[in-house]
Amino acid sequence: MRQPKKPLKPRIGRPPLAPGARRDRQLNILMKMEERQAFIDEAHQTGRSVSEHVMRYLRTMREHQDIWDDLAELQQARADIAKRIMLERGWTRFPAEPFGEMLWSPLPAWSSFISDDEANAPMPDIMVSADVRRAVEGILIVFNVPKERRGLIAQAFFKALKGRIPNTATKQARQGAA
């Protein structure tokens, strides 16, 4: 006599999908803790899971990519027009290694602010703040000035600056005499 077949036990877990059926895939990304927390907070505010919120955000960005591309083109066009106008008005180009190309004004920076009399007047001592010193140091670093020469160049810069800043006491005396 034949034994009846035993009933199969149901499998534990998710039932297998049919071949070729879509399967969602996981994507792992690294982000700063503040960015991650922002996504978590926004997801809680909208009542979505973090995955749903991030996917909605990414889909929206992809849908509007053409707008971002148009905006980038408009910004580049504005920059090109401004550059063309500056070159037509006498600005000159010069290479600046870390930045590519820079434009230089045809007029000295002080020309519209200081008269010849003021430029030749005796100057008071210049007090330079730590922020200004750090900014000058940063500029010298960007232009790869060797460390041992930075101090000398900074001193020369401040000495030249002293020769170009108007003497406010002389200017006030002139205004009082007028």
The full DSSP string for 39-95 is HHHHHHHHT--HHHHHHHHHHHHHHTHHHHHHHHHHHHHHHHHHHHHHHHTT-EEEE
Using DSSP, state whether 104 is helix, strand or coil: strand
Q: Note down the domain range covering 139.
A: 108-168
Over residues 69-86, mean pLDDT? 88
Residue 164: Cβ-neighbour burial (10 angstroms; 0-12, 13-18, 19+):
middle
Helices (H) and strands (E) in the chain, counts: 7, 2
85 within domain boundaries: no
Residue 86: Cβ-neighbour burial (10 angstroms; 0-12, 13-18, 19+):
middle
54 within domain boundaries: no
Which of 44-53, 66-75, 84-93 is most confident? 44-53
pLDDT tens digits for range 118-173: 555 554 555 566 667 777 777 888 788 888 887 788 777 777 766 555 555 555 55
141 within domain boundaries: yes
Which helix (DSSP H) or strand (DSSP E) does residue 96 occupy? Answer: strand 92-96
- Residue 109: pLDDT over 70: no
Cα atoms found within 13 Å of the Cα of residue 50, Cβ hemisphere only:
7
100 within domain boundaries: no
Q: For the chain, how many residues are written?
A: 178
Q: Give the global pTM.
A: 0.36
112 within domain boundaries: yes
Number of domains in the chain: 1
144 within domain boundaries: yes
- 158 contact partners, CB below 8 Å, separation of at least 6: 126, 128
- Residue 96: pLDDT over 60: yes
142 within domain boundaries: yes
- Residue for token digits 């071949």? 19
161 within domain boundaries: yes
